[in-house]
Structure 1
Amino acid sequence: MQFEGAVVKEQGVTFAIVVVKPYVLNSSMECDDARQGFRSIFPGMPIILMAQGSRGVPTYQGRTDIIKFLANVHPSRIPWKRYNYN
């Protein structure tokens, strides 16, 4: 499995951002399942889920304080990386 994600350290908090399909953010159960699946890749980190709509505008789901921070960060400033996970 390949996915796009990033590990960000800001203001003493290290967290992961994972790109998911928009439908995932429409269901709390889907969000929980996605987070659970990524916990082994990003152990001990808060996991923020991100989806982009048809206009490319990101929507984030996760810890409120991190979401507020990300609202002021352009996605091009996030250190995205392609992860391979088997």
Structure 2
Amino acid sequence: MKYQGAVVKEQGVTFAIVIVKPQILNSAEREIVRSRFRPYFPLGIPIVLMAQNPNGIPTYHGKQDIVNFLASIDFQGISWKEYSIG
């Protein structure tokens, strides 16, 4: 399985972002999905889920302070990578 994500260090805080399908953000399944990604990032860093609407506008779910920060920046400036699992 492949997914798009990023590990970001900003203002002394390190966190991960994982791009998911929009329906994941609006379901109870989002915490299950987030937990599935934990083994692939450094221990203890917060994982934020991100989805884009049909117009390409991102929506985030995770720790509120990180979500607020991400909402204030241009997500295209993030160094996205493709990760492989398995």
Q: TM-score, normalising length from structure 2?
A: 0.95
CA distance in 2 between partners of 1:56 and 1:82 (Å): 18
| Residue of structure 2 in register with 1:80 after alignment | 80
- Do structure 1's residue 36 and structure 2's residue 35 form an aligned pair? yes
Unaligned 5+ segments in structure 2 are: none
| Aligned positions, number | 85
Root mean square deviation of aligned Cα: 0.7
Matches of residues 1-86 of structure 1 in structure 2 within 5 Å? 1-27=1-27, 29-42=28-41, 43-86=43-86
Q: Which runs of 4+ in 1 moved over 2 A?
A: none
Q: 1:73: Cα distance to partner?
A: 1.1
Q: TM-score, normalising length from structure 1?
A: 0.95
